[in-house]
Chains A and B, each alone.
Chain A
């Protein structure tokens, strides 16, 4: 998203000559993404609400922070770090999970709802291609939500750090421990990296959900979820194995083991030092997933072209 302007076309007079062509190409996409945010307020409300609730909880708990800090000071540095950074990680983790749930339900409805309420006839009466529409819808889980998550989490982190600092004023050792282990900037960099890794890793999942949403006449959720479940059950019964289930779990959570050094409980890991982008980018599963994501999205474009209201 570029400009937050709420008004129509900018006057084209004061633009460089190359701008109009680019503008013509990207304007429908820009407005299509904004349209998604108008329709689905949960895209930003849900992560905001999750962040606000957690923040509220931790804000109250800062009352007892000075007392707890005394106990932390007695621990070894590894455990100190784990304890001090716990609220920051919990907030990040829960906002991530919230965004993931929002993304899944958003995708399942994205190309289904417009057929259900017949508004597809209105959208198709405008000069916006099916490709632009599908890209705009795919960009919500892949780009827009991660940006919102980043903003919410970084804001929440700064907020808790400020509160904790205020609560520990006059407690020299406690303050020093806090600022030693909480590295806001490093954490933010690691967050950006994690969000990119998740987007790339989950792209085929969202592609699949969008395809089902474009294709299914009803119960998009069941069409999306039952086939994998059926395969897993079938494998269990016939071969008494669970490779498919493990593969699915890896497709959902594998980004973490590929993108970061696995955590060992009770040890301190620098956020930046734990990132392993080389390992992530050389994982064949990542690239295979992106290929499938492209195929699913391409199929979704073709399917939407043929679809009528239901």
Chain B
């Protein structure tokens, strides 16, 4: 089943184009990472998918038009739009009451069980919780909703490494079950590399790379080349080259693995390195996102 299908998705803010004819297709059971520099159009794309912003072009999410049917769509879609969106005056118990009140697919017992694993007290207000706890609370609310699509926009922004790791572990172990679909954007690319099944690079409102992680691993290879083989390796036209501790690391696209193995250690590159290679040449902003 196709969960998200977009054709020629466009969005202009005055003179700037946030989405420039995006075609997108996400199948059920995938975990898609949407990676791009700041201002590339990631959030705009997610907002269109969530029915938060009008757009041009065709877009169907779970068979619905998100802009005209947002409230019905939200029964089947959950989203966490970065951390600090839970209102600060809300008490934890009120959050549970409210979501249980308005969401027909919310399993309160499950949310309570998830919260019981944390230090979050029921009587606390959101303003009294740490940033990490707010995220735990939001995740507990969202994971207790039986929804086929989960959208995460920078869900771990500003969290320390422990909470970030816990966030994705929890998501994979307690939530993801192969019938659900997750779309995630993040700047912390390295942390989700092992989580993703699909990868999409977006830049200046266009999709510049769209592949499964298997295809990614087959397509991009990274070789650690000792100095004596550098010239031979460069002859094979790497798409990117960098130095690390006196050794050269060369990135190849669609190269022959056996041929590369003769030149040095071959491994799968990180998404961040491929991102820099793909985005780097034509724009500065790409660097920031690919830390």
Contact between chains at A129 and B97 (CB < 8 Å): no
Q: Check if B99 is an interface residue, CB within 8 A of chain A.
A: yes
Min distance, Cβ B149 to any Cβ of chain A, angstroms = 12
Contact between chains at A8 and B97 (CB < 8 Å): yes
Contact between chains at B103 and A308 (CB < 8 Å): no
What A residues does B101 contact at CB under 8 A?
A: 8-9, 27-28, 30-31, 34
| CB within 8 Å of B: which A209-227 residues | none
Interface of B, secondary structure class, is: mixed
Q: State which of A7, A119, A125, A306 has its C-beta within 8 Å of the C-beta of B78.
A: A125
With A124-B74, A127-B103, A308-B47 known, 8 other A-B pairs at CB within 8 A are A35-B98, A114-B87, A119-B85, A122-B81, A125-B80, A127-B72, A128-B74, A129-B71
**Chain B CB within 10 A, most for which of A27, A34, A39, A119:** A119
Q: Check if B104 is an interface residue, CB within 8 A of chain A.
A: yes
Contact between chains at B99 and A308 (CB < 8 Å): no
Contact between chains at B84 and A126 (CB < 8 Å): no
What B residues does A32 contact at CB under 8 A?
A: 102
What A residues does B51 contact at CB under 8 A?
A: 124
Q: Check if B100 is an interface residue, CB within 8 A of chain A.
A: yes
Min distance, Cβ A120 to any Cβ of chain B, angstroms = 8
Q: Check if A38 is an interface residue, CB within 8 A of chain B.
A: yes
Min distance, Cβ B153 to any Cβ of chain A, angstroms = 9
Q: Check if A67 is an interface residue, CB within 8 A of chain B.
A: no
Q: Given A38-B89, A39-B89, A118-B85 in contact, is the A124-B70 Cβ separation under 8 Å?
A: yes
Contact between chains at B100 and A126 (CB < 8 Å): no
Contact between chains at A127 and B104 (CB < 8 Å): yes
Q: Check if B38 is an interface residue, CB within 8 A of chain A.
A: no
A-B CB contacts (within 8 Å), total count: 87
Q: State which of B50, B54, B87, B100 has its C-beta within 8 Å of the C-beta of A8.
A: B100
Contact between chains at A122 and B86 (CB < 8 Å): yes
State in angstroms the CA–CA spacing of A38 and B53 once bound together: 28
**Chain B CB within 10 A, most for which of A118, A124, A127, A129:** A127
What A residues does B78 contact at CB under 8 A?
A: 125
Q: Check if A248 is an interface residue, CB within 8 A of chain B.
A: no
| CB within 8 Å of A: which B26-68 residues | 47, 50-54
What A residues does B54 contact at CB under 8 A?
A: 306
Q: State which of A6, A8, A38 has its C-beta within 8 Å of the C-beta of B90.
A: A38
Measured CB to CB, the residues of A under 8 A from B are 6-9, 24, 27-28, 30-32, 34-35, 38-39, 114, 117-122, 124-130, 132, 305-306, 308
Q: State which of B47, B85, B94 has its C-beta within 8 Å of the C-beta of A122.
A: B85
Min distance, Cβ A122 to any Cβ of chain B, angstroms = 5
Q: Check if B219 is an interface residue, CB within 8 A of chain A.
A: no
Contact between chains at B90 and A125 (CB < 8 Å): no
The 8 A-B residue pairs with the shortest CB-CB distance, nearest first, are: A31-B101, A8-B100, A129-B71, A119-B87, A127-B74, A121-B81, A121-B85, A127-B75
Contact between chains at B70 and A129 (CB < 8 Å): yes
Contact between chains at B99 and A126 (CB < 8 Å): yes
Q: Given A8-B97, A38-B90, A117-B87 in contact, is the A125-B79 Cβ separation under 8 Å?
A: yes
Q: State which of B70, B81, B88, B102 has its C-beta within 8 Å of the C-beta of A28.
A: B102
| CB within 8 Å of A: which B138-179 residues | 138
Q: State which of A31, A38, A114 has its C-beta within 8 Å of the C-beta of B102.
A: A31
State in angstroms the CA–CA spacing of A30 and B102 once bound together: 9
What A residues does B84 contact at CB under 8 A?
A: 118
**Chain B CB within 10 A, most for which of A30, A39, A118, A122:** A122
State in angstroms the CA–CA spacing of A24 and B102 once bound together: 9
